Each structure stands twice: as structure tokens, then as C-alpha cells.
Structure 1
Amino acid sequence: MAIRSRLLAPALALLLAIPLLAVAHQARPAPYGDHLTVPRTAPARVPHATPRLRTHGTALQAHDPRTGALRWRYAREGRRPLTSLHARGDVITLWDDGLVTATDGRTVRWHRALPAPGDWLPAHGGTGVLRPLGHGMLAVVTPRRVAAYRVADGDLRWVLPARDGCAFRPERAVHHSKTLVVAQPCPQAAWTAQLVALDDLGRIVPGRVRPRLEHPNPEKVLAQPR
């Protein structure tokens, strides 16, 4: 009888601990302070129907383009969204702490942090920072560098640093056909050196040949400043 009691005591303790462990798991703070909510009354998803994005307070909201009904709401604790764009079914958002996120309205699929955002983001804001490059690629333009990420998984594909003594101007970047042209003002430099042409593979230079297979080398590429 004593042996049975000694065996039952740990088993009962384990059974009592399981609900407590479940509650503790649910009470854990979401990574990066994410709060993505989908209303029960959210309309059914329609293929190729791009939701309308709207910033409401400190949250980003997606609304049905036909009815205006709320599809989902995404917020981060203590943060606010600066700018967002659609990219291959995802919504890419830049936040005021320099974090870039991607959500499909069901989950937040990836997070990427910009280097030293406090040096420029508070004064600049998010104008022009997020730029689609085509072929499922996203450019994040900051004064010190341009980085390209694969939208599907947030994988960093290449980085182009600004020239010494120069800085990129995200708000002055423009798209021309499939090319992103970014201003890079440099003192005493020819105007041609102050414009940088980019696409999903990186900097466009004379004589560059586009490979038949996109991004055949899975390793990250550090583009040389020019």
C-alpha cells in the first residue's frame, strides 16, 4: 500500500501541473510584441482580391476591397507602423523601431531588423524605404545601404553599401520599368555617379549578364559600393 501511494503521488502532481503549464504557455508574450487578430465576422478570402490597408492608431488594418469589412488587425506593443505595401499576397510593414515584418493575415511570417534605425528613422520616417523589385524580391532602402530580401521567407539576398561620404535617399527613389533608381548624393561627384540602378539581382552595370536561373548561388552577396 505504501509503495502504491508513493507511485500515485508523482502521477497526481503531474496531472495537476499540466493545466498550469498550458496556462503559462498561453500567457507567454508574443515574439516582438505581435498581436495579429482576425475577427470572427471577417469575410471569406477571395483569391486575387487585394485588401485595402489602413493605419488606425498604432495598428495596421486590412479591409475587404468590396465591402470594407475588417479582415485582420496587426499591432505591436509600444510600436506603430510607418509604411506598408503588398507583395505577393503578403503585407510588408516597416515599424518605428526599424523592424520589417511580413504577414499574410493569418500569421506574422518573418521579422527583419534594420541596422541602427535610431540614427535616421525618427527624422526620416518610412517614406520610400520599402521598394518592390519584382521576381518576389523586396528592397529596403536606408541611407547607409540597400538590402534585398526574398518576400517568401525574408531571406537576405544581397546588400549594397553606400559609397564613402555618400548616402542613399529613399524618398527620392523611383521605379522605371523593372528598374529601381535610387538617389545617392555625393559631394563633388558627377551626377551619373549619384544615381544607382537596381533590380532583383542587385546593381545594374554595363555588361552584366542576367543568369538563366534566378539567384543560382544560395550564398548571400555583398555588392561593392560604386
Structure 2
Amino acid sequence: MPRTRGAVVAGYDTRGGAPPWRYARVGHRPVVVLPARGEAVTLWDDGLLTATDGRTVRWHRALPDAAEWLPAHGGAGVLRPLGHGVLAVVTPRRVAAYRTADGGGLRWTLPARDGCVFRPGAALRRGPAPLLSQPCADTAWTGQLVALDHLGRITPGRTPLGSAPPALRSARRDAGNPLAPPR
């Protein structure tokens, strides 16, 4: 179980409590740490996102424009697990989803609508889907909520575009649902 202690992310053995590993970045401190399948996904104060297993950094990504909003916001709500090994990273201007199992590969992005921003700390989970707040001055409150899952934004009638796990794709085909509407 990873934890932050000052400027260090450390893994802890749940049986003995001793830290079997530690990871630090010189001149930076961890803002949020999230356990993910034997790894620690960490958001750092400079907007760098790292995934470490304690021996190596398996992958890292830089959040765009983090210097503008991260110091005042902190990390509340930025990291959102979506299931199926997918982690959403919510920033005011966009949501990006990374697959933690395959080296942090980018799965999809969702930009905020024009004139709107996502509020990472103002989200809740309804069943398996997080509902994100996207305040807009010209939209009813129902249009200011965005539901997500590991495939992206949840909308009525949505079908995956080939990014679903193979078992889900074949189940949808067997049910008579095409992957994409005819042209």
C-alpha cells in the first residue's frame, strides 16, 4: 500500500508496516498517490504523473498547463480509476484516460466544452461511473454533468469504437450490436 511521507512515496507491507521501497523526485513533492495493481500512481506538484513499482518508474506523463491550476487546486479528484485498468486524469481543460496495465498508454481524451471547465474535486461516483462537474454559464445543470467509464463519455446509444476489451467486443457482436453504424 503506497503512502506519501513528506517528499517521498513509499510502499508499505500491510503485514509488517515496514517500507519495502521508496521513491522521490529531487525538488518535488507528491500531491496524490493512488495504488494500482502493485504500483503507485503519483501526481507530483509540478504536474508530472508517475507509475512506479518501487524499483523503476514504469511510465510517466506530464499534465498540460499544470502550473496554472495545480498549485491552487491541489490534487483532489484529479486521479479517477475507471475500472478495466484505466485511470482518468481530470484537469480543468480536459480528461485524459491512461491504461495502467500497458505502460500508461493514452486511451482517450475528452476536452471541456467551449466556455466550460471540469472541476476535478467536484465529482461523485454513481455505481461504476464517476460523474464530473463541468460548469458552463449557458447550460442547464443536467448538461453540466459528464458521466465516464473506461471507454470514455457515457452517452445514450454509445457503442465502443474498438477500444473495448476483446470479451466485451465479442459479447456486443453476439448481441447483435454493431461496433459502428453503417455509413
Q: What TM-score comes out, normalization by structure 2 length?
A: 0.85
Q: How does 1:32-71 map to 2 (within 5 A)?
A: 51=1, 53-71=2-20
Name whichever structure is richer in helix by fraction: 1
1:109 and 1:92 map into 2 onto residues whose CA distance is 10
Q: Deviation per CA, 1:100-143, whole angstroms, max 9, x where unpaired?
A: 00011221100100001111001001111001000010000000
Is structure 2 residue 106 aligned with structure 1 residue 159?
no
1:132 match: 81
Question: Number of residues paired by the alignment?
Answer: 165
1:45 match: none
Which ranges of 4 or more aligned residues in structure 1 deviate by more than 3 Å?
A: 210-213
Q: Compute the displacement of 1:63 (Å).
A: 1.3
Q: Compute the displacement of 1:215 (Å).
A: 5.8
Aligned counterpart for 1:193 among listed residues 143, 160, 166: 143
Q: Deviation per CA, 1:122-167, whole angstroms, max 9, x where unpaired?
A: 1001111001000010000000000000102111111000011111
Mapped contact 2:4–2:33 kept (Cα < 8 A): no
Unaligned stretches of 5+ residues in structure 1: 1-50, 217-226
Q: How does 1:34-183 map to 2 (within 5 A)?
A: 51=1, 53-152=2-101, 153-183=103-133
Q: What TM-score comes out, normalization by structure 1 length?
A: 0.70
Partner SS for 2:21: strand
2:161 and 2:127 map into 1 onto residues whose CA distance is 19
Q: Compute the displacement of 1:175 (Å).
A: 1.7
Aligned-pair RMSD on alpha carbons?
A: 1.6
Q: Deviation per CA, 1:12-69, whole angstroms, max 9, x where unpaired?
A: xxxxxxxxxxxxxxxxxxxxxxxxxxxxxxxxxxxxxxx2x33222111111111111
Mapped contact 1:201–1:215 kept (Cα < 8 A): no
1:220 match: none
Q: Deviation per CA, 1:205-225, whole angstroms, max 9, x where unpaired?
A: 001134787267xxxxxxxxx
Q: Compute the displacement of 1:88 (Å).
A: 2.2
Partner SS for 1:193: helix
Unaligned stretches of 5+ residues in structure 2: 167-183
Q: Identity of counterpart residues, as a percentage?
A: 64
Partner SS for 2:31: strand
Mapped contact 2:97–2:108 kept (Cα < 8 A): yes
